[in-house]
Structure 1
Amino acid sequence: MTEQQGRGIIERATATKERPTLKTIAFMTGLGITTVSRALKDAPDIGAETKERVRMVARQLGYQPNRAGVRLRTGKTNVIALVLGIDEEILGFSNQMVVGISEVLSGTPYHIVVTPHAHTKDPMLPVRYILETGSADGVIISRTEPDDARVQLLIEQNMPFATHGRTNMEQVHPYHDFDNEAFAYGAVERLVNKGRKRIALLPPPAKLTYNAHTRNGFLRGLRDFGAEEVPLHINIDASLGDIRNAIEQLMRASDAPDGLITASGSAAIAANAGIEAAGKHVGRELDLVSKQGTPILSWIRPEIITAYEDVRQSGRELAKAVIARIDGVEPQLLQSVSQPIWGD
């Protein structure tokens, strides 16, 4: 059968608008259903020519495996659930994470399903839902806490998972993290090299593990480079408006800092607005250091000192880790930490 002939038959077959099945592909190719199924699974005993013919017809039909049927036959969903925050975020962090995960899953039978969640709600809710409904073969979670109840539950339920961020728990589990301690330490070093000595930190929320990592690096940097902290009583989970107002108030004070470090790119934009509202400017009265997952900060304010966090790569590492865990790889072999890439 030529490709043109096959397309003509397929167009007539799909005119009925019925969902194509393995039986449809078998009819179109003249092969048995078992052969078609094994060809789509890249079975080694099926010839390359047969596989290509089956795949061509499947593509033209728009064939997609019936997940309900797959689950009945195998007990698997072929779904990786990403529990993702839906809070105010304007610099593409979530999108980059999803893209990275999708790049890895595209070469596997797995599909990503995003389970949105607000940080103001009970973080256990989405994880319990996934476990109770059996709606995924593996889970990726973020915003980890030192003693994370979600991690404990996933381990108890024998659900393969990976976390974006570490915990302080005795249980070993897969994770990928960004070295926030190295970021904060390097941020202080760069500010001091610019002559800044009074530095404020806009940190992650205190309940999250990476708050401790960030503050450890910050305080170590202050000690090693001879700077002092200017207290700032707000964190990056506050609304952008609240961050802007808090930074404006801080910068109008007589003891305003001459350096500021933020733990997120979105917070840096709000902080910059607060600095300018106070009549001051980054690169003049003070310097600002921030993480960024896209180059937007560098575009809109080149004066901001930036450290790049490759969130897309984080997504790739997390996807590879959770698939490997599904395949039985030991969790201690599935742990990684990426380093900040400085823009200077």
Structure 2
Amino acid sequence: MDRRRTEKNDETSAQGRPTLKTLAFMTGLGVTTVSRALKDAPEIGAETRRRVQLVAKQIGYRPNRAGVRLRTGKTNVISLVLNTEHELMSFVSDIIYGVTSVIADTPYHLIVTPYSRSQDPMDPVRYLVETGSADGIIISRTQPDDARARYLLERGIPFATHGRTDMGLVHPYHDFDNYAFANEAARYLAGMGRRRLALLAPPVGLTYHGHTVNGFADALSEVGVSEVPFNTVTIDQSIEQIRTRTAQLMRRNDRPDGIVSSAAASTLAIVAGIEDAGLELGRDVDVVSKQSSEFLHLFRRELFVVNESFRLAGSELARSVLGWIGGAAPGSLQSLSKPSGVLPYRG
């Protein structure tokens, strides 16, 4: 009875919007046959399924979401939960691109669930779960002991984290190897003869802060160079705060001659601060930075960069969530991308 009701709802959706009746008329098939062909029902022949799905794509048919949810209990929604005050637009656009590139040929579509600094990060996650608004959830700014991940695991909600946790619990994630990035960047600067290195790190409390700091510290110990503390700001601070603090740091007698930066936007501020102090990038100090879009070499060719792909992160996170929804073991849905090495843009 419920299935007949939801199919009827789909037949009579808003005027001007293609419906099951539209598809039935255009293909010469019955409404029930069209409905089952769209769901890849095995009793419908492969050629019929292909023809119905092709026509549906050509005319822009979309199933009635309320009907789908009533019939299957699914929303066909993946939600990407983002802190809109901390995530830069390049991160947002690239990770959305990555997610949508994976779900484009599936019944799923993406909604972005934003929250702000004034909110508890748990609020949007609780809302999605309590209202049943999504079949799967992607979260970022992951913490070592992340209450959101624990909450979702306890409720059996498919999800993936951008970044790892350290809770001893198994869940899907995609992460960039920030330990390797910071370690290799520091070694690279030491190999260039730089002996006093500073690190502009991610904010304390996020998992990749620890990975970055540990990779940097281990490299310094192994290659025998010293650290100049640069811990009064993080990449979450404003451009002006980072610029001012860099200029202050570079005016000291024991200033660093090499800097590792964890974000491209922060690197712009670091370079401005270096130049405010009357110093020259590439002569007085070298900088190795992560970037997600290949623009730093256009800003200053003296910079050394390592690429981190947020598009790759988005696609891997989408695959992880869809895999869990499809029944794969969460432990099999984990991925870690490695830095490709320090890339000089000097020619």
TM-score, length-scaled by structure 1: 0.91
Instruction: Among all aligned residue pairs of Structure 1 and Structure 2, give the percentage whose two residues are the same amino acid.
Output: 55
Output aligned runs, 1:1-344, within 5 Å.
17-87=15-85, 92-119=90-117, 121-232=119-230, 233-342=232-341, 343-344=343-344
Q: Is the 8 A contact 1:91 1:265 kept in 2?
A: no
Secondary structure, counterpart of 1:92 in structure 2: helix
Report the alpha carbon displacement of residue 290 of structure 1 after superposing the two structures with TM.
0.7
Query: Would the alpha carbon gap of residues 214 and 114 (structure 1) be closer, same or farther in structure 2, given more than 3 Å must change?
Result: same
| AA of the residue aligned to 1:335 | Q
> Is the 1:91–1:296 contact (alpha carbons within 8 Å) kept by the matching residues of 2?
no
Letter in 1 for 2:23: I
* Aligned-partner SS, 2:234: coil
Which of 46-55 and 218-227 deviates more? 46-55
**In the TM superposition, what is the alpha-carbon distance from 1:43 to its structure 2 partner?**
3.4
Q: Provide closer, same or farther for how the CA distance between residues 121 and 201 of structure 1 changes in structure 2, counting only shifts above 3 A.
A: farther
CA distance in 2, matches of 1:56, 1:172: 40
Q: Which amino acid aligns with 2:111?
A: V
Contact 1:178 1:340 in 2 (8 A): yes
Aligned-pair CA distance for 1:111: 0.7
Q: Is the 8 A contact 1:137 1:159 kept in 2?
A: yes
Contact 1:197 1:228 in 2 (8 A): yes
- Larger displacement relative to structure 2 (118-127 or 273-282): 118-127
Counterparts of 1:193 and 1:59, CA distance in 2:
56
The 10-residue stretch of structure 1 (153-162 or 271-280) with the greater mean CA deviation from structure 2: 271-280
Paired with 1:318 and 1:71, the residues of 2 have a C-alpha distance of 24
CA RMSD of aligned residues (A): 1.7
Shift of 1:209: 0.7
- SS of 1:206's partner is coil
Output one character per residue of 1:201-255: Cα deviation in whole Å (capped at 9) or x when no partner: 1101110011110011000000011111111111111111111111111112222
Residue 215 to residue 317, structure 1, CA distance change in 2 (3 Å): same
Compute the displacement of 1:295 (Å): 0.6
Q: What letter is aligned with 2:220?
A: L
Report the residue type matching 1:322 in the other structure. Answer: V
Q: Any conservation in 2 of the 1:165–1:178 contact (CA below 8 Å)? A: yes
CA displacement at 1:119 relative to structure 2: 4.5
Shift of 1:89: 5.4
Is the contact between residue 91 and residue 294 of structure 1 (CA under 8 Å) also seen in structure 2?
no
Moved more, 44-53 or 204-213: 44-53
The count of residues paired between Structure 1 and Structure 2 equals: 329
Deviations 1:77-133 (A, max 9, x none): 000000123235557122111111111101211111111223553211111111111
The AA in structure 2 aligned to 1:117 is Y
Deviation at 1:260, TM superposition (A): 0.7
Amino acid at match of 2:164: R
How far, CA to CA, are the matches of 1:156 and 1:64 in structure 2? 33
Who is 1:12 aligned against?
none
- 2-structure distance, mates of 1:56, 1:315: 27
Alpha-carbon distance in 2 for matches of 1:17, 1:318: 37
Distance in 2 (CA, whole Å) between partners of 1:116 and 1:134 is: 17
Task: Give, in whole Å, the separation in 1 of the partners of 2:228 and 2:107.
Answer: 51
2:79 alignment partner, SS class: strand
CA deviation after TM superposition for structure 1 residue 187, in Å: 0.6
Alpha-carbon distance in structure 1 between the residues aligned to 2:134 and 2:280: 49
Deviation larger for 46-55 or 74-83: 46-55
The Cα shift of 1:52 comes to: 4.2
Secondary structure of the corresponding residue to residue 160 of structure 2: strand
Which structure 1 residue ranges, 5 or more long, are not aligned? 1-15
Distance 1:165 1:89, change over 3 A: closer
> What stretches of structure 1 move > 6 A for 4+ residues in a row?
none
Unaligned runs of 5+ in 2: 1-13
Pick closer, same or farther for the CA change 1:286–1:214 going to 2, 3 Å.
same
The amino acid of 1:35's aligned partner reads T
